[in-house]
C-alpha cells in the first residue's frame, strides 16, 4: 500500500533470495511526487509503515561515479565516514544537489559538500530546518571537469540508521507556500518558494483539516515533498506595501502573513485597541519552516517601545501577552528579522487574539498506526488528548473499516486525557486497508485529525502521520486469551491506594512458558516539571509474571 491506495506488486525472482524479497510495482502516471507511507499487506495483516520518496528521477544504488544526470542515488553513510560519488559537468551548468534523509526516517544529519577536480570545495550545505533537517545545494558549475559530492553526518556519528537519498540534476521543488495559512473554504493563489522564481498554484482550502499539502503544478518535473498550508478558522490577511501611517488591522481575532524580503526591513501594522484589554500576539516563523529569527515589538504612536519579545517558551518564535495601558487606544506592531536574511523565504504569520478569551483547542495522538485484528479477537489503540482550553468530550470517528471490524471506546470523556479504542473482529473476512481517525466535539466546532505519536526528531510530513492501517486477519492457530476475572472490575479508586484486580488467561494447548502481564490505561502520564509524576499515575505496582504451568 502507498498511503491509502492499494498497489499490486510482483516478486522479482532473479533478485530475491533467502535473506530478502525484491518486489516491483508500476505506479499510475497521475501519482503525485513527494513522500508516501509504504506498507506491505499479506493475508496475515499489514506491516509497519516506512516513508518512501516518489518521483520520475532515475533511481540507482549509490556508486562511486555517475554516468548521466539527473539521478537519484540510494545509500548509507558508513558510521564516522562519508559517502562519495563523482560526475562530469560543464561550465555554467545549473544543478541542484539534495540529500533526503531525516524526512525519510533516517537518523543521519546530512552535510553535503561539492569539490572540483583540484579538491577545492566550491559549495556545501548543513542540515536546514526548512528541509526538515536535510541539506540542499544550488550551484552553477564554474568550469568543465569532474566534480565530487560527499555526504556525511554533521558530527560524523549518526545516532542510528544512516540511509539517505542523494539527488543531482534539475527538478521542480518548493519548500514553503505563501501565504502559509488560508481561511477555511477560501480560494487563493499560492506562491511556491524555494525553487523556480514566480511559481504559483491555485488553492482552495477545505472545510476541514489542519495542515494539508499543496498539489504540484507539473507532476513530471517535481521531486521532493510539496509545501503545506495551514487551514485556519481565522480571517487571514496579507501584509500591504509599506505605508505611512502603517497598515490598519481589523478587530481581533485574525492573522496576517508577510515577508521580510528586503534588507533591514521592518513590517509595521497599526491596531486599534481598548484600554486595559489583554492581547496575545504569536508569531509563526521557525515553526512553519521560515528561515527568519523573528523579533516582535509593540510601540505607542509616539514610537516608544511598550513591550517586546524575541523567543517564546521553548521556541525561537516570539509570543507576547500584553495588557493595554490606560489612555492608549492604538498600538503599532513592528516585526523584523534578527538575522536579516532578506530573501523570498523570509516569511511569517502573526496571529492576534484576546488573552481574556480562553483557548479552545486540543491535540489528539495515537500510540500506533497499525492494528491487525485476528478473527474472534480484539486489539487496543491508546489515544491521548493534550488539552489547551477545551475540556469537553471528544468523539473518535473512524473512516472505512474492514468487514467485521467493530469499534468500541470511541469517546474521550470530558476532562479525560484519553481513551482505549478497541477494535474487535466479529467476522471471518481477510481484508486490509488504510483509514483515517478524527476527533470531534459534539457541536462540531473542534475537528482534529488523530496523528501518530512520534519522537521529537521525526521530520516526516505531518499528513503522513494521519494514516492508520487496519486489517481483518485470519483466526490465530494458537489463540491466547486474557480477561478480567470479575465481570465488573472496580472503577472507583482512591488516590495513593492499591487495588488487586484478578485476571484470567487461557494458554494455547500444548504451549508452556511464563506469561508477563502489563497494564495499559487511557491516562496520559501526568508530569511535573516535565518529569513523570508517579503519585498521580495509574500503574502496576510491579511487573507481573506468571510462571510456567506445572
Running along the chain, 550 residues long, what does each successive block of 10 average in pLDDT?
Answer: 92 91 90 95 93 96 96 95 97 97 96 97 96 96 97 96 97 96 96 92 91 92 95 95 88 96 93 96 95 95 95 92 95 94 93 90 95 94 94 96 96 95 94 95 92 90 94 87 77 78 82 83 83 83 76
Question: Who contacts 145 (Cβ-Cβ below 8 Å, separation ≥6)?
Answer: 88, 89, 116, 117
For the chain, percent helix, then strand, then coil, each to nearest 5? 5, 45, 50
**How many helices (H) and strands (E) in the chain?**
0, 49
DSSP string, 92-135: T-EEEEEEE-GGGT----EEEEEE-TTS-EEEEE--BGGGTTBE
Nearest to 182 by CA among 203, 165, 198, 168: 203
Note whether 321 and 307 are within 8 A (CB). no
Residue 549's pLDDT is what?
64
CB atoms within 10 A of CB 297: 20
User: What is the gyration radius of the CA atoms in the chain, in angstroms?
Assistant: 27
Note whether 371 and 468 are within 8 A (CB). yes
- What is the spatial distance between Cα 365 and Cα 451, in angstroms, rounded to a whole number? 5
Q: Give the residue ranges of DSSP H helices in 261-334.
A: none
Residue 502's pLDDT is what?
86
Residue 314's pLDDT is what?
86
- What is the spatial distance between Cα 273 and Cα 330, in angstroms, rounded to a whole number? 5
- What is the spatial distance between Cα 69 and Cα 170, in angstroms, rounded to a whole number? 9
Residue 476's pLDDT is what?
85
**29's grid cell:** 502516471
* Domain annotation for the chain: domains and CATH numbers: 10-54 (no CATH), 59-169 (2.60.120.380), 176-232 (no CATH), 241-354 (2.60.120.380), 361-473 (2.60.40.1510), 479-550 (no CATH)
DSSP string, 457-492: T--S-GGGGG-EEEEEEPPPSS--EEEESSSS----
**What is the reported pTM?**
0.88
Please measure the distance between the N-terminal and C-terminal CA atoms of the chain and give it in whole angstroms: 46
Amino acid at each position: 500500500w502507498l498511503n491509502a491506495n492499494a498497489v499490486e506488486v510482483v516478486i522479482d525472482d532473479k533478485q530475491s533470495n533467502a535473506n530478502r524479497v525484491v518486489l516491483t510495482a508500476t505506479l499510475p502516471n497521475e501519482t503525485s511526487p513527494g513522500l508516501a507511507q509504504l506498507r506491505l499487506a499479506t493475508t496475515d495483516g499489514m506491516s509497519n509503515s516506512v516513508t518512501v520518496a516518489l518521483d520520475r528521477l532515475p533511481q540507482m544504488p549509490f556508486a562511486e561515479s555517475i554516468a548521466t544526470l539527473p539521478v537519484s542515488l540510494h545509500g548509507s553513510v558508513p558510521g564516522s565516514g562519508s559517502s562519495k560519488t563523482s560526475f562530469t559537468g560543464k561550465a555554467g551548468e545549473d544543478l541542484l544537489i539534495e540529500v533526503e534523509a531525516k524526512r525519510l526516517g533516517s537518523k543521519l544529519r546530512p552535510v553535503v559538500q561539492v569539490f572540483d577536480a583540484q579538491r577545492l570545495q566550491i559549495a556545501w550545505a548543513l542540515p536546514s530546518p526548512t528541509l526538515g533537517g536535510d541539506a540542499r545545494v544550488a550551484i552553477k558549475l564554474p568550469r568543465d571537469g569532474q566534480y565530487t559530492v560527499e555526504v556525511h553526518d554533521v558530527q560524523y556519528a549518526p545516532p542510528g540508521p544512516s540511509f539517505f537519498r542523494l539527488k543531482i540534476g534539475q527538478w521542480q521543488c518548493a519548500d514553503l507556500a505563501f501565504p502559509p495559512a488560508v481561511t477555511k473554504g477560501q480560494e487563493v493563489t499560492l506562491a511556491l518558494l524555494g525553487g523556480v522564481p514566480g511559481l504559483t498554484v491555485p488553492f482552495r482550502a477545505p472545510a476541514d483539516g489542519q495542515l494539508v499539502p499543496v498539489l504540484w503544478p507539473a507532476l513530471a518535473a517535481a521531486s521532493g515533498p510539496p509545501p503545506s498550508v495551514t487551514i485556519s478558522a481565522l480571517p487571514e490577511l496579507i501584509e500591504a506595501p509599506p505605508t505611512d501611517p502603517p497598515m490598519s488591522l481589523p478587530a481581533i481575532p485574525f492573522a496576517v502573513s508577510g515577508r521580510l524580503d528586503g534588507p533591514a526591513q521592518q513590517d509595521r501594522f497599526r491596531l486599534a485597541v481598548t484600554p486595559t484589554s489583554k492581547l496575545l500576539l504569536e508569531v509563526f516563523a521557525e515553526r512553519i519552516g521560515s528561515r527568519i529569527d523573528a523579533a516582535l515589538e509593540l510601540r505607542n504612536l509616539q514610537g516608544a517601545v511598550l513591550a517586546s519579545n524575541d523567543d517564546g517558551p521553548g521556541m525561537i518564535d516570539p509570543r507576547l501577552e500584553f495588557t493595554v495601558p490606560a489612555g492608549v487606544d492604538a498600538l503599532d506592531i513592528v516585526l523584523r528579522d534578527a538575522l536579516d536574511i532578506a530573501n523570498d523565504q523570509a516569511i511569517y504569520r502573526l496571529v492576534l487574539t484576546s488573552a481574556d478569551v480562553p483557548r479552545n483547542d486540543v491535540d489528539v495522538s495515537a500510540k500506533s498506526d497499525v492494528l491487525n485484528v485476528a478473527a474472534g479477537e480484539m486489539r487496543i489503540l491508546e489515544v491521548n488528548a493534550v488539552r489547551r482550553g477545551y475540556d469537553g468530550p471528544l468523539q473518535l470517528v473512524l473512516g472505512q473499516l474492514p468487514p467485521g471490524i467493530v469499534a468500541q471506546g470511541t469517546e474521550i470523556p470530558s476532562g479525560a486525557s484519553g481513551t482505549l479504542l478497541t477494535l474487535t473482529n466479529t467476522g471471518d473476512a481477510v481484508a486490509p486497508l488504510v483509514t483515517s481517525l478524527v476527533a470531534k466535539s459534539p457541536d462540531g466546532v473542534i475537528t482534529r485529525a488523530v496523528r501518530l505519536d512520534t519522537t521529537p526528531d521525526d521530520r516526516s510530513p505531518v499528513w503522513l502521520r494521519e494514516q492508520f492501517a487496519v486489517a481483518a486477519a485470519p483466526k490465530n492457530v494458537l489463540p491466547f486469551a486474557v480477561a478480567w476475572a470479575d465481570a465488573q472490575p472496580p472503577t472507583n479508586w482512591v488516590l495513593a491506594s492499591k487495588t488487586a484486580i484478578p485476571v484470567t488467561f487461557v494458554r494455547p494447548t500444548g504451549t508452556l512458558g511464563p506469561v508477563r502481564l502489563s497494564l495499559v490505561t487511557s491516562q496520559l502520564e501526568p508530569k511535573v516539571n516535565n518529569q513523570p509524576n508517579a503519585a498521580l499515575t495509574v500503574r502496576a505496582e510491579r511487573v507481573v509474571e506468571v510462571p510456567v504451568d506445572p
